[in-house]
Amino acid sequence: METFYPDYYSEFICTADNCPLTCCQEWKIYVDDLTKEKWKTLTPPESAGGHKKNLNSFTEKKEGQRVIRLTDDHRCPFLTKNLLCSLVLTYNADILSETCTTFPREYHDFSDHREASLMPCCPAVIDLWQQKKHLTFPKVSSVSLNPAFLLREKITALVQGDSIRLPDPSLPLMQSFYILQELYRKEEKGQSLTDAVIEDCFTPSTLSELQNAIYDLPVSVTDTIWECNELLQDLAVNYLEEGLYEEYLEPLITQAEQLSEMAEDLLLSKWDAFCLQLEAFYPLLRSFLANEMYSDLLAPDDTSTEHMLIRLQWTAIQYAAIRQALFLTYLSESAGTLSYESVRQTLVILTRMTGYEEEDIYEYLENSFESLLWDFGYLAFIMGSSL
Ligand code: SF4
């Protein structure tokens, strides 16, 4: 079976003890059954502390899955003081769980091919995308008869864009959502998704008409900021309760809570100044969003247009929360600038926080909104159609 890779994939190198946001803390590290059996026979390294009988004693069951039990400060017990893995130092990389071996790589096995990509929740991946400026994704539609792959290819290319001088990344998200909704309606009326129908949605004149219509939508920037502020606080609440990402989230959420005290004209002038700073990161944000489209719009067991709509909604929530977090960070930085390090930290932490399993995304959307599938107006509202 052929495996497809984006152009950046082979360039990834884990920065290990130089990593500014190691993946060995503050989230679930799954232990697969094979590793669990292996670990039952292996003695823990001394640096892991405690006097447990084997490596498996460092694991626990959480929400039905076996994970490494983190220390009181939410770190992997095998992470040494100088940020190296004591399992690799004592044994070798072969004894690591599949999660540790694979991260930040991600694989999707479709019926006729395999797709590989890298996840944005690793700072070395963000560094890679920042250096490359523009990512190229494989043309899977050349081997698959399923038109959904052509549709995803068109959306990924639209979001990535063909030049680094491009407008706000929320514009292609809105265009893509509108097109997906149109195609979904056509399918509901019995029309099949064909290559010709898809191509027709992405002609330069159609996209340009759509862009003009989006820019003409009435929008209240202040209302968009308040809504995104709510979304961000809602995503953070459980993590704060569990004491995760505290160092990052506590000042951010305090800033979010204090935002209502700011006079509206001051808020808008700060927002305008922030948007100017954000422009420098549009290429990186577009690469991030294009990668989300490539890796998440289609699932091996669901290539329907409905699934694409739901995943695009989730990406829009992620993007709205990331942009809001960056705005709050910008407000708290006395120099009035937005640094690359802040953007990288925000992308990594927010994508770790929102890297939900498929069923959890559906549950979140069902519990948080009137219906699973949004109206176009809500997506445009959180994107801020002409910010
Ligand atoms: S987050 Fe990325 S760079 Fe950092 S330790 Fe993990 S894999 Fe390596």
Q: Is 143 in the pocket of ligand 1 (CB under 6 A)?
A: no
Asked whether residue 131 is assigned to any structural domain, the reply reads no
Q: Is 16 in the pocket of ligand 1 (CB under 6 A)?
A: yes
Domain match, 181 and 67 both: no
Domain match, 77 and 166 both: no
Instruction: Report d(CA 39, CA 59) in Å as an integer.
Output: 10
CA of 311 to the centre of ligand 1 (A): 25
Segment 293-298 long-range contacts (CB within 8 Å, at least 24 positions apart): 293/152, 293/155, 293/156, 293/159, 293/176, 294/6, 294/115, 294/117, 294/137, 294/152, 294/156, 295/106, 295/108, 295/115, 295/117, 295/119, 297/152, 297/155, 297/156, 298/108, 298/110, 298/148, 298/149, 298/152
Domain match, 226 and 341 both: yes
pLDDT score for 47: 87
Q: Is 118 in the pocket of ligand 1 (CB under 6 A)?
A: no
pLDDT score for 168: 87
Domain match, 156 and 72 both: no
Asked whether residue 217 is assigned to any structural domain, the reply reads yes
Domain match, 279 and 221 both: yes
Q: In this structure, what are the phi and psi dihedrals at residue 25, rounded to the nearest 5 degrees?
A: -150, 155
Domain match, 374 and 252 both: yes
Write out the residue range of the structural domain in which residue 89 sits.
24-102
pLDDT digits (tens, 9 = 90+) for 226-235: 999 999 999 9
The number of the ligand 1 atom at minimal distance from the alpha carbon of 124 is: 3
CA of 20 to the centre of ligand 1 (A): 8
11, 15, 118: which to mutate for ligand 1, most atoms within 8 A of CB? 15
Asked whether residue 121 is assigned to any structural domain, the reply reads no
Domain match, 213 and 332 both: yes
Kindly state the tokens that stand for 65.
């899955």
Q: Is 55 in the pocket of ligand 1 (CB under 6 A)?
A: no
The contacts of residue 76 (CB under 8 Å, 6+ apart) are 24, 25, 29, 68, 70, 85
Look at strands 65-68 and 105-109 and give their pairing: unpaired
pLDDT score for 145: 85
Domain match, 146 and 98 both: no
The number of the ligand 1 atom at minimal distance from the alpha carbon of 15 is: 3
**Domain final residue pick, 74, 102, 130:** 102
Overall number of domains in the chain? 2
CA of 250 to the centre of ligand 1 (A): 23
**Domain final residue pick, 40, 71, 102:** 102
Domain match, 241 and 289 both: yes
The contacts of residue 142 (CB under 8 Å, 6+ apart) are none
pLDDT in tens, the chain (387 residues): 899 999 999 999 999 999 999 999 998 899 999 999 999 999 999 888 767 889 999 999 988 899 999 999 999 999 999 999 999 999 999 999 999 999 999 999 999 999 999 999 999 999 999 999 899 999 998 888 899 999 999 999 999 987 656 678 999 999 999 999 999 999 999 999 999 999 999 999 999 999 999 989 888 999 999 999 999 999 999 999 999 999 999 999 999 999 989 999 999 999 999 999 999 999 999 999 999 999 999 999 999 999 999 999 999 999 999 999 999 999 998 777 899 999 999 999 999 999 998 999 999 999 999 999 999 999 999 998 655
Kindly state the tokens that stand for 277.
């700073």
Domain match, 167 and 259 both: yes
The number of the ligand 1 atom at minimal distance from the alpha carbon of 103 is: 7
Q: Is 67 in the pocket of ligand 1 (CB under 6 A)?
A: no
Torsion of CA 327, 253, 318, 101, to 10 degrees: 110
Q: In this structure, what are the phi and psi dihedrals at residue 166, rounded to the nearest 5 degrees?
A: -135, 160
Asked whether residue 5 is assigned to any structural domain, the reply reads no
Residue 41, number of CB atoms within 10 A of its CB: 9
Asked whether residue 7 is assigned to any structural domain, the reply reads no
Asked whether residue 317 is assigned to any structural domain, the reply reads yes
Domain match, 83 and 152 both: no
Domain match, 222 and 75 both: no
**Domain final residue pick, 102, 125, 158:** 102
